Amino acid sequence: MDYWICNGTPLLLNYLVYLSNILHNRRGAEVKLFPYGSMEEAIFWDEASIRQAWAISLAKYAEGDSAGEVDSVLQSNQTIHETLFPGSIEKDSKVLQSFLAWWWSYPCGGKNALEMMSAPLIPVLGDEIRALIKEKHSNKSIQMTIQFLYNPISDASLSLRGDGYVIVPLIELSGGKGKIRQLAFDIVNGIN
pLDDT digits (tens, 9 = 90+) for 157-169: 777 887 777 888 9
* H helix runs in the chain, sequence order: 11-26, 47-62, 67-75, 79-84, 89-104, 110-118, 121-136, 177-189
Summarize pLDDT for 104-129 with one digit per residue, the tens.
898 889 999 999 988 888 888 888 88
> Does the global pTM surpass 0.75?
yes
- For the cut 80, the answer to whether the pLDDT of residue 153 exceeds it is yes
Q: For the CA atoms of the chain, what is the radius of gyration?
A: 17
The predicted pLDDT at position 42 comes to 47
Bridge partners of 3?
A: 142
Domain enclosing residue 14, as ranges: 3-189
What domain count does the chain have? 1
Q: 102 pLDDT band (50/70/90 cuts)?
A: very high
Q: Is 165 helix (H, G, I), strand (E, B) or coil?
A: strand
Summarize pLDDT for 58-83 with one digit per residue, the tens.
777 666 655 555 566 555 545 555 66
Q: Are 91 and 42 in contact (CB under 8 A)?
A: yes
Average pLDDT over residues 4-20: 84
The predicted pLDDT at position 146 comes to 84
- Burial class of residue 192, CB neighbours in 10 A (0-12, 13-18, 19+): exposed
- For the cut 80, the answer to whether the pLDDT of residue 44 exceeds it is no
Q: Nearest to residue 165, comparing CAs of 7, 1, 3?
A: 7
